[in-house]
Amino acid sequence: STATKLANRSFSNCMMNAAGVWCMDEAELTAIDDSAAGTFVTKSGTLVSRPGNPEPRYYETALGSINSMGLPNHGIDYYLDVVAAFQKKNPGKTYFLSCTGFSIEQDQTLLRKIKDSEFNGIVELNLSCPNVPGKPQIGYDFETVDQILAAVFAEYDGPLGVKLPPYFDLVHFDQMAVILNKYPLAYINSINSIGNGLYIDDEKEEVVIKPKNGFGGIGGEYVKPTALANVHAFYQRLKPEIQIIGTGGITSGRDVFEHILCGASMVQVGTELAKEGPQVFERLTKELQDIMAAKGYTTLADFRGKLRHQ
């Protein structure tokens, strides 16, 4: 079985979409809900809806993707309404709602709205959008992350996790883990895209996306080793109550296996979902099942976090 548990909720499959991909509106969320994925997460909702950055703003490359979407979304109220309808349709299923504010006050307002709604799922607070011109990735400002988490947990007591940017320095893992361990987080999600890469078309001698002179978040095969490093570094440093969602570079069941071996309890698929569509979950599930069968594993717990060090 590829079933899992997160925040004491059960999921029939450990795989789901990554926020931002195939989750903008009710029709896209319905396609994920009807797929082999265990659940979905919405596009990050902001207090007020946003058109996002000018197009082209997403580009698929041979090894992955580059994007500078700029948080296009229908606003938190839309996602609360849509998820409430899914909850009514499938009372046993737990859904994820992603949200992001542009200040601590906005984060608190978002959480208050969620608390006052019918939402009974898991909140994913996005601390890592790299694509809003002039706004740094919050996850790289450790003091602000600490302040946001203090404010958020003063406001909200339901299950909540944070989506983090990739870190690249072992001391940064140490420092961020000290902060995260102070709070009753249900989980962390590593990684968001590697921010502000530059993909260019050498034939045209031109960038491939329009916003920010072509700079954008990198996803896909390029990022898997960075994603696995972040999953495993946090697995070794976080208190066991904080679970991990592994995101980054999943194109096969083998990649899912590797994320779980590094400590992930659940995984999210972004670039490959954009490329293949929701039927990707059926393929990945079969591929993971085959690997587990060949190794004699019957549950994810048989190998989760059990990566060996020489």
Instruction: Decide if residue 69 touches ligand DHB (CB under 6 A).
Output: yes
**Contact by Cβ (8 Å): 247, 166:** no
Count of residues near ligand DHB by CB under 6 A: 14
Is 60 buried (19+), middle (13-18) or exposed (0-12) by CB count in 10 A?
middle
Among 2, 4, 42, 128, binds ligand DHB (CB under 6 A): 128
Nearer to ligand DHB, 54 or 254 (CB): 54
Instruction: Decide if residue 193 touches ligand DHB (CB under 6 A).
Output: yes
Instruction: Decide if residue 194 touches ligand DHB (CB under 6 A).
Output: no
**Contact by Cβ (8 Å): 161, 186:** yes
Among 20, 64, 139, 161, binds ligand DHB (CB under 6 A): 20
The token pair that represents 310 in the structure block: 């020489």
Candidate segments 68-76, 114-122, 230-238, 250-258, binder of ligand DHB by CB under 6 A: 68-76
Cis peptide before 191 (omega within 30 of 0): yes
Nearer to ligand DHB, 4 or 73 (CB): 73
Nearer to ligand DHB, 7 or 18 (CB): 18
**Contact by Cβ (8 Å): 175, 110:** no
Nearer to ligand DHB, 215 or 257 (CB): 215
> What minimum distance in Å lies between the beta carbon of 306 and ligand DHB?
30
Among 130, 159, 166, 248, binds ligand DHB (CB under 6 A): 130
> What minimum distance in Å lies between the beta carbon of 240 and ligand DHB?
26
CB atoms within 10 A of CB 28: 17
Residue 129 is a catalytic residue:
yes
Instruction: Decide if residue 122 touches ligand DHB (CB under 6 A).
Output: no
User: Catalytic one among 14, 23, 99, 129?
Assistant: 129
Instruction: Decide if residue 217 touches ligand DHB (CB under 6 A).
Output: yes
Long-range pairs, 30-36, Cβ under 8 A, ≥24? 31/277, 31/278, 32/278, 33/86, 33/90, 34/278, 35/278, 35/279, 35/281, 35/282, 36/281, 36/282, 36/285
Nearer to ligand DHB, 29 or 129 (CB): 129
Instruction: Decide if residue 129 touches ligand DHB (CB under 6 A).
Output: yes
Instruction: Decide if residue 197 touches ligand DHB (CB under 6 A).
Output: no
Of 282, 217, 223, 218, give the one whose Cα is nearest residue 250: 223
Of 76, 303, 100, give the one whose Cα is nearest residue 189: 100
Of 143, 136, 205, 139, give the one whose Cα is nearest residue 167: 139
Residue 96 CA to residue 279 CA, distance in Å, equals 20
- Active-site residue set: 129
